[in-house]
Structure 1
């Protein structure tokens, strides 16, 4: 008889101990790579090991090398945590071990995705019938949305890119803000366009694409090339939002496809207080975002949306004799994402939305916004330079108007362990980048973290 209870009980006990300790745990790894190799390494095992012992030794070996990104005082990158319902659903997803590529392979996973897709469209206010793909993250969401864009703009030019490829195809140009995220460039590389296809559009001091600059480029286009415009809602440094309404107007007049990179900023649509930031979002053609950011579901969980399902399916779907694809209209998930075999990512997203509801998701977004404002105010009152308008959840800070001091404060804060945030370069200057995205972050986390940052800054300047 297979012993499921032993290893799963060990995993449960280790996991709940870790999660319960997050509020007071040092926010940073406690071991370096050499220590982790010593703890986890050794010779290839000659024979089997009892499963519960494997789980216990694995947990003990990785414990000190974990970056506690689920902590309410973790402000690095733009990471979320995991809510209880979504984490529990993710465990079940693993236990059920469904291949969610086809309806035939898992009717339950396909229907959960279908329902969850409808809920997501309603949450974001996207057009009725918008198709949804559940992918790994914003990188693949941008890839998939831009693949649909590639299909459609070339189809309009009389070219079947899925059949004919790109050799000999009409040249496609991509207009994107100079402060776009690197996942857009990377997606264009994957799609065979290369980054030379990008024409950077001038941005303002907060990193927002200037609509007048975009309109001028579109107006002056004499070649009438197939065109994709990439807008951004939520600059990764400042949190700033392109004006999607002002982007879509001239772009659609020109016949361009508008793709929106809304990795975290798209979630502003759920908040009555912040929805003005995404005014006109429903006018775009495709959108990318992450569920493992503000919805706070476990990694990995990205989402792509397309207002033109036929273009979405044309770019992604595949047919093969051995596949059992549904003939009765049921949704085959592989028609909407780049993968065949994949885990049932829709299940944790379903659980998170079911547990929180619209009001619960909005509360997380609103609270993180309020906490970002609180963090910026505390640092500004303490003499730090806040470089951005805190419109959402991102705070850019500089110390002593000095690159070296700023970078050293970031490093020393990471080493100290009260909180963790990353550094960046903004408009040629070093900065500390603070991202408030975790569902558990509250005023005490902010005040404790701000006091630590200022204390480290003061000590560094004195020394």
Structure 2
């Protein structure tokens, strides 16, 4: 117990020291992978070390290679910070060390996950009887939902996938938008659906699937059908028109899946809820709580309208396993796993309904302020309509845009990541962190303006 307490004390000191540096430390790491391999590598020592000393050594050596993701100026990819209650809950999850696959084995953590799932369904306006499975992230959430979808549409066509396998199964039509996230294609590949078997539907200038193009696509074939829609395109933040697209797909007997890794949460806001109108009519939804809800990695969420479809896909055998009706292992690919939904319960409990709505609204307000500030810089063009939490901008040429992106990371004030949009280089900001303040936005805009001016002066001496 003494060694464990000292290790936990060392971890607390290391975590607190790191978090205290966030307002002023460079957001991008100061050391690369090779430097970190040198710091942690070498032959495995013959003798062990005191647990607290190991934690202190780990904290000290890792510091130059850490990204300030939990701070207010990390705008790369779509990654939130971690709410205080979610962080504390995650530490307890590790200390409790519960296997959250079974309600009989670990009733406390499974109960918190189940309640968190119910609260999410309520906040997002989704069917209250849907199954909610906690997985590692948006990728596995999409995979879980689409594996369930494939099993269900084949069953409707009279094919028992569990019994007969895929080799001679009816072909499944897999329909996606032109600006879908890459995790959809990757999930399809996991399911044995190749690129040549994916039907791509045109999208508009913001990345929204075009209803006329979907109508034409659906009329061109028949058979088991899955249609993938999107709540918040990863570059522009645009939402598909669910109220129009879902009825079109339903008329052809489709299973409709919504990839809403960060966009589903717009439904929690009175102001932003219209973006999700009609979304509740889909069959499955995927999201990722480490994004908009700001819980720690990892916490993807797979939601399926009819729990019977989840059970048909994922329930396992084993005479030593005990079933309680709907266990966590009935709705995801995993049997043993950590209680990753507990931090989500803590986040929701700490925020309440109003707090979740305020968080989502604040993220959108930060995005609007960022877009306004960037648009005011001479030479900067904001590319997208800022409907949600994404801002995309560029300079006059691709080379200048990429050079600016490298300079931003080197400067360290903020992190933004590069993108390609309609064949042109761009830089993308995702306003996903609960920590981000108006001052963080202003500091970022000031840094970008300073770097643009320096770049311009260098090009035009």
**TM-score greater than 0.5 by the shorter chain:** yes
Post-superposition shift, 1:458?
1.4
Pair 1:392 & 2:376 matched: no
SS of the residue aligned with 1:3? helix
Alignment correspondent of 2:354 = 359
Alignment correspondent of 2:323 = 325
Post-superposition shift, 1:134?
0.4
Alignment correspondent of 2:217 = 217
In 2, Cα distance between equivalents of 1:452 and 1:318: 54
Paired residues for 1:4-403 under 5 Å: 4-221=4-221, 224-326=222-324, 329=325, 331-383=326-378, 384-399=380-395, 401-403=396-398
Higher deviation after alignment, 111-120 or 235-244: 111-120
SS of the residue aligned with 2:355? helix
SS of the residue aligned with 2:392? strand
In 1, Cα distance between equivalents of 2:403 and 2:185: 30
Deviations along 1:179-232, one digit per CA (max 9) or x if unpaired, are 0000000001111122322110010000100011101211232xx211100000
SS of the residue aligned with 1:389? coil
Post-superposition shift, 1:174?
1.0
Match of 1:431 among 414, 426, 444: 426
What is the aligned residue count? 457
SS of the residue aligned with 1:24? coil
Post-superposition shift, 1:8?
0.4
Paired residues for 1:449-460 under 5 Å: 449-460=444-455
Consecutive unaligned residues of structure 2, counting only runs of 5 or more, are none
In 1, Cα distance between equivalents of 2:192 and 2:314: 15
In 2, Cα distance between equivalents of 1:32 and 1:345: 29
SS of the residue aligned with 2:74? coil
Higher deviation after alignment, 147-156 or 38-47: 38-47
Deviations along 1:317-355, one digit per CA (max 9) or x if unpaired, are 1111222223xx3x3110011111100011101000000
Deviations along 1:422-441, one digit per CA (max 9) or x if unpaired, are 00101100000010000011
| Runs of 4+ that moved beyond 4 A | none
Consecutive unaligned residues of structure 1, counting only runs of 5 or more, are none
Post-superposition shift, 1:141?
0.4
Post-superposition shift, 1:104?
2.4
SS of the residue aligned with 2:216? helix
Higher deviation after alignment, 16-25 or 373-382: 16-25
The Cα RMSD (Å) is: 1.0
Match of 1:441 among 418, 428, 436: 436
